[in-house]
């Protein structure tokens, strides 16, 4: 039986969890985190889409079916509401395309 850890809706096999969280980060891991904090997070979290432009385009807001209550679901729901469209649910969580690419691709084909 495969052992999984569920953390904030993300299912991690035990060996992956151990590799990510149960050891001291490498010097490269620390440098990567420092770069993200210094250069990526602030601009990403402060960015506001141009809703007027998006309303003139065929936009699809996709949400992982297993992302209930997560930040990615809440922000996607808010975006869809602002655009006046219904979000489309896809299999899996926030990265369902990676977790179950076959089911994700089938849903995408059905939707398109």
Q: Are 65 and 73 in contact (CB under 8 A)?
A: no
My answer on whether 61 and 95 are in the same domain is: yes
Instruction: For the full predicted model, state whether its pTM sits above 0.85.
Output: no
Instruction: For residue 36, give both structure tokens.
Output: 């993200």
pLDDT score recorded for residue 17? 74
My answer on whether 57 and 101 are in the same domain is: yes
pLDDT score recorded for residue 9? 53
My answer on whether 43 and 67 are in the same domain is: no
Asked if pLDDT for residue 2 goes beyond 90, the answer is no
My answer on whether 55 and 19 are in the same domain is: no
The structural domain count of the chain equals 2
Domain that holds residue 23: 1-47
pLDDT band (50, 70, 90) for residue 3: very low
Question: 57 or 25, which is more confident?
Answer: 57
């Amino acid at each position: 039986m495969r052992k999984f850890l569920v953390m904030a809706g993300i299912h991690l096999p035990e060996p992956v969890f151990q590799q990510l969280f149960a050891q001291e980060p490498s010097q490269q891991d620390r440098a990567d985190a420092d770069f993200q904090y210094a250069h990526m997070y602030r601009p990403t979290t402060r960015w506001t889409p141009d809703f007027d432009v998006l309303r003139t385009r065929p936009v699809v807001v996709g949400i992982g079916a297993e992302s209930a209550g997560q930040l990615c679901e809440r922000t996607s729901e808010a975006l869809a509401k602002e655009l006046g469209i219904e979000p489309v649910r896809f299999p899996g969580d926030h990265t369902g395309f990676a977790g179950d690419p076959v089911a994700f691709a089938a849903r995408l084909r059905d939707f398109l």
